[in-house]
Structure 1
């Protein structure tokens, strides 16, 4: 969308540079990224950035205005975790880059989560783009790396010793996001611990290192814990629903409270109309809506073309929403003259004593398929996968 940067990038791009780019990421982490890295950043105007921030600030206002009773309704009874917090530590807000009826490019809210995304990875990702393509320096994120680190440190580690703080995941070495765990460890000096390795004594939790038990006082939680039931023969020493002496970052209840559950409650020009399935009005046309289960992760269970037969067959209709379709606009030109579509995720942290969250970074995802998920792209497609957005003047 910013032609001068797009043209310069496309002129400088080569497959050799792309391989070098991925090699630099591998050298920094010691890992191959387990997800596809897009060849290109996303270039967006400052005007578009203003629209994104306006929508995010409105969403934050609306969330803050909701009662705790309303938010509590989002948590399934079998998923409630004790010792909830007044606000989440993380807030991520996803927008499609779309075209409206007037032909204008604008953001449209896709979903939002109070769950950490690839914060540490995205900072390194952006820095690596700037190393390989130095002209990007002039439009990079203005937040100094040290400030970025300090915000994350304050949120995740707080006043504790880093050795008493862990990044918790289930089988972390098997996760697609493992590269982010490595960068988080490097940035903050904390350990990544598998849920199956956590020890419990009374109300205290521990992990073992070199035969020594270390008490866990804060958990940077990366486990989608309602998915644990799907893992066969899983044996753990503690259950999330137990009352334990630990500080959750962020508390698991917020995964449900800030989720697709909120979409029917939010209003803004950049928020497409949504309904709970059991409240879908008769005067609306199902053809104009996408069906989404409330608590699926990474796009699983989404039906782009639901039929009445499909919706009628769903028994727990209160656990699904219908969201008005938006038109992702292919505006990101590749070196072959073809265009990709994209989503952008705004990555916020919310310090415990702050009234509002702070925007730290962004995460982009590019596609040439109907869904912004690289699994749906053709094998030889380019300008697809994980990316980062740069904002500048035309």
Structure 2
């Protein structure tokens, strides 16, 4: 992390500035941000930024290799397989913990990955608000590949809208207005002009889908999908009440739901490199490691850290009834490199890629960061702490 920029930021930080920052952040939003936003951004050095880019490139190369779809067929649960899958994901998110290697060097280590959208709209607003509230230098940027805000929004439009008009594309989630990420939904609506709808708003006529918002019924050509099937997994009758989106429909998915499973924890055993923790499918392990304190046990089909066993025992492994749906992953020990007024804070950086149709590969575009003092990154593990929560990383242009 960049100690010079950090020193300048911390020297000028006050609680009143943070309160003013939050007021600016929430000003004119559809609703106040419902999750904790950290007191500070992350400031990356050029060297660490380049390590992140290199680590991301290695993973993207694996996703681009011939046969990746065949390799990940088992990742898609039959219950949630959706028809008319396209050739590539439109969004890829790679989560890296900031760690220290055996030589004492600060390095990124892959935590998880997903072929699914993240806060592509909110991070623009968040970065702008940090810059304004804390007077962050214009020499620092939240974007990669020489992008600025204008170029980034254009890339986002190309990815989500494609050749269609905004009214032909909808952002859809199971109950969109009530999601914690709805702040991102409505900012995306501002940037792109697309409507935000819930699963129950879909209307089907033959193989075509329609929606109604403030006017006549409109045809849906593309769905910017924000629905994760885990959220409706316990409702066995949901498709008796709403359109069954798994069936063949005359609509394009941005990104297709199957990619959520293909690019996920399921992919990690197929990855290797200096920035990848050793990961194995549980059912393929011949001998349980003696040093289980150095491993975590993760279910393949869960999100937001649910079901993860951090302090693994041999009995935990023996009690797993479906080992083919679990991975045993070498534990990643976060290094508290972010200097808060009262000590170090751990951090995670999410690299966010965009892959519009017509491009041969995804473009690393923007980032998301999260700060933590708890055992894991995430709101539920960081209650009652300060200098934790969602943020963004700035880096030299």
Q: TM (normalized to structure 1)?
A: 0.96
Secondary structure (helix, strand or coil) at the match of 2:44 reads strand
**Offset of residue 341 of structure 1:** 0.1
1:224 to 224, 228, 240: 228
- Name the structure 2 match of 1:193: 197
- Name the structure 2 match of 1:26: 26
- Say whether the 8 Å CA contact 1:197–1:236 is kept in structure 2: no
Note closer, same or farther for the CA distance 1:168–1:236 as it changes in structure 2 (3 Å cut): farther
The answer for unaligned runs of 5 or more in structure 1 is none
> Distance in 1 between the 2:14 and 2:155 partners?
36
Secondary structure (helix, strand or coil) at the match of 1:85 reads coil
> Distance in 2 between the 1:180 and 1:23 partners?
17
- Name the structure 2 match of 1:170: 174
- Name the structure 2 match of 1:125: 126
- Say whether the 8 Å CA contact 2:160–2:356 is kept in structure 1: no
> Distance in 2 between the 1:378 and 1:190 partners?
35
- Name the structure 1 match of 2:164: 160
CA deviations 1:325-361 (Å, max 9, x no partner) are 011000111123x110010000001122222100111
- Say whether the 8 Å CA contact 2:98–2:334 is kept in structure 1: yes
Secondary structure (helix, strand or coil) at the match of 1:137 reads coil
**Offset of residue 73 of structure 1:** 2.1
- Say whether the 8 Å CA contact 1:342–1:366 is kept in structure 2: yes
- Say whether the 8 Å CA contact 1:94–1:112 is kept in structure 2: yes
- Name the structure 1 match of 2:313: 307
- Say whether the 8 Å CA contact 1:198–1:205 is kept in structure 2: yes
Q: Which moved more, 1:5-14 or 1:26-35?
A: 26-35
- Name the structure 1 match of 2:110: 109
> Distance in 2 between the 1:287 and 1:333 partners?
27
- Name the structure 1 match of 2:330: 324
1:284 matched to 2:285: no
> Distance in 2 between the 1:258 and 1:183 partners?
26
Q: Which moved more, 1:222-231 or 1:3-12?
A: 222-231
Q: Which moved more, 1:195-204 or 1:65-74?
A: 65-74
Q: Which moved more, 1:108-117 or 1:134-143?
A: 134-143
**Offset of residue 312 of structure 1:** 1.1
Q: Which moved more, 1:3-12 or 1:278-287?
A: 278-287
**Offset of residue 232 of structure 1:** 7.7
Q: TM (normalized to structure 2)?
A: 0.95
**Offset of residue 225 of structure 1:** 2.0
The answer for unaligned runs of 5 or more in structure 2 is none
Secondary structure (helix, strand or coil) at the match of 2:386 reads coil
> Distance in 2 between the 1:89 and 1:194 partners?
21
- Say whether the 8 Å CA contact 2:370–2:388 is kept in structure 1: yes
2:367 to 362, 367, 370: 362
**Offset of residue 311 of structure 1:** 1.4
- Name the structure 1 match of 2:377: 372
CA deviations 1:241-274 (Å, max 9, x no partner) are 1110000000001001000001001011000000
- Name the structure 1 match of 2:270: 265
1:341 matched to 2:346: yes
- Name the structure 2 match of 1:82: 83
- Say whether the 8 Å CA contact 1:129–1:136 is kept in structure 2: no
Number of equivalences = 391
**Offset of residue 192 of structure 1:** 0.6
Q: How do 1:32-71 residues align onto structure 2 when only pairs under 5 Å count?
A: 32-67=32-67, 68-71=69-72
